[in-house]
Amino acid sequence: MPIRVRFAPSPTGALHIGGVRTALYNYLLAKKSGGTFILRIEDTDQGRYVAGAEEYILESLQWLGISPDEMPGTINKYAPYRQSERLELYKKMAAQLIATGKAYYAFDTAEQLDVLRKESESAGEAFLYGAKNREKLENSLSMTDSEIQERLKSGNPYVIRLKVMPDEIVSFEDSVRGAVQFQSNELDDKVLLKSDGFPTYHLANVIDDHEMAITHVIRGEEWLSSTAHHILLYRAFGWQATMPSFAHLPLIMKPDGKGKLSKRDGAKFGMPVFPLSWYDNGVETFTGFRESGFLPAALLNFLVLLGWHPEGDQEIMSLQEMISQFTPERINKSGARFDYEKAKWFNQQYIAHSPAGSLLAEVKNVLSAQGIHWPDERVLSLIGLMQERCTFLGDFYSECPFLFVTVTQFDDKSLDKKWNDQSQPLLLQIIKLMEAAGEFSAVSLHDSIQEYMTENEIGPGQLFPLLRLASTGTLKGPDLFKTLEFLGKEESIRRIQRLISYKSNK
């Protein structure tokens, strides 16, 4: 059977980075086998629905380069892909479970259940709606047929609950955790259909996975405890033969390793935890990796290793390499610490080793945001000059302001240390060399200046710091001669003259 996997987020806000990792692992498994990666929107919890969240989810996947093969809007035999558009199917299947005795109506009010929970808490117990007490509660198992029909006709609110049989072992093989089993006496009779007519996650998830021919379910470990109910639902529908295999992913932990990474940890630890920035009423409430200056390939590389490892010790991996090496069996059981410094390292590596042309569009966007509109050739030169020094895309501007504006301020402390009586005559000689230069390239500049220094027994420490101070205003910056080439002959000479004038007027 062809592999079919699904990423099924709820549109309740920004997509957490843990959800992105889940999507990535599903995508990798599908692509390795030539299978299908599906985006299904689980929007049955209407109270938590957030406008724009679905579009955000799809834009995030597309930015990362892991676009779904099937999604809302796809027309085929499995559609639709929004659960809110499949309500009649869920109602029909819930009624089938009622008819076969696998589920029942429950008329208990929220107030009645709250009283029972408090009584259990007072007795030091956890309230469980199940085999031990269900026939004493307000449901169709404790009523006659006429009572049930009267309740239904009168419009009494009800839910439909799964009937979990006592004294059973529910077991399955998890691709990550191995053999897992549950005792049915520890399981409650989960609500399948809510009083508003919407299904719970448990019912809709199982029906949709079956109807969409899902072969593998890869999801977070928070759903591990629900799997027993899902297996019972597969049995109740008679779908055991087509039940998917399960893989439950480890948690992504906070940078300090203390607890699960949450959306609020971005502000706490000063880092993004969402793929894209999220805006609430036009105001940015969470900054995304994209807006922080990450390349999508670098973020994917970082994420794939948060809980999974290849056979060797390879760290830098293309998406194609991830696909070829991915297997659920190599996913770790223990939680993975979200090391933001490592994420930054990946981004720096990708920026440093990417062809300049592949960064052109992103760097042009960075410059455009600053009101700088250079031709492509000029931007490519900037990339070649700076890319080994940049951790984020924004660094192509923020780390080299001296390339965009005239240097008028100099690092006086460094200048005082390097300047002496011979500095001005030496710089004037360098200006003459530059004026006479035919080709103004990094290589030719280096060779002619080096030749002059050798002939006049001038050490690098006498000249190079002065040239760097003249060109950048500080002792920091990219390769000196490449910087001079980028600035060009006229601007390089002007900057040296400006340093001389600055020092003369002090």
Residues classed as catalytic:
263
Q: What is the largest CA-CA distance in the chain?
A: 111
Q: How far is CA 284 from the centre of its chain?
A: 17
Instruction: Label each residue of 133-197 as H, E or C.
Output: CHHHCCEHHHCCHHHHHHHHHCCCCCEEEECCCCCCEEEEEECCCEEEEEEHHHCCCCEEECCCC
- Angle ∠(313,27,241) on CA atoms, nearest 5: 110
**In 3D, which of 366, 389, 363 has the Cα closest to residue 376?**
363
Q: How many CA atoms lie within 13 A of 172 on its CB side?
A: 23
Helix, coil or strand: residue 337: strand
Q: Are strands 159-162 and 169-174 parallel, antiparallel or unpaired?
A: unpaired
Alpha-carbon distance 500 to 506, whole Å?
Answer: 10
Alpha-carbon distance 36 to 252, whole Å?
Answer: 26
- Angle ∠(144,157,97) on CA atoms, nearest 5: 60
Buried b (16+ CB within 10 A) or exposed e, 36-53: bbbbbbbbbbeeebeeeb
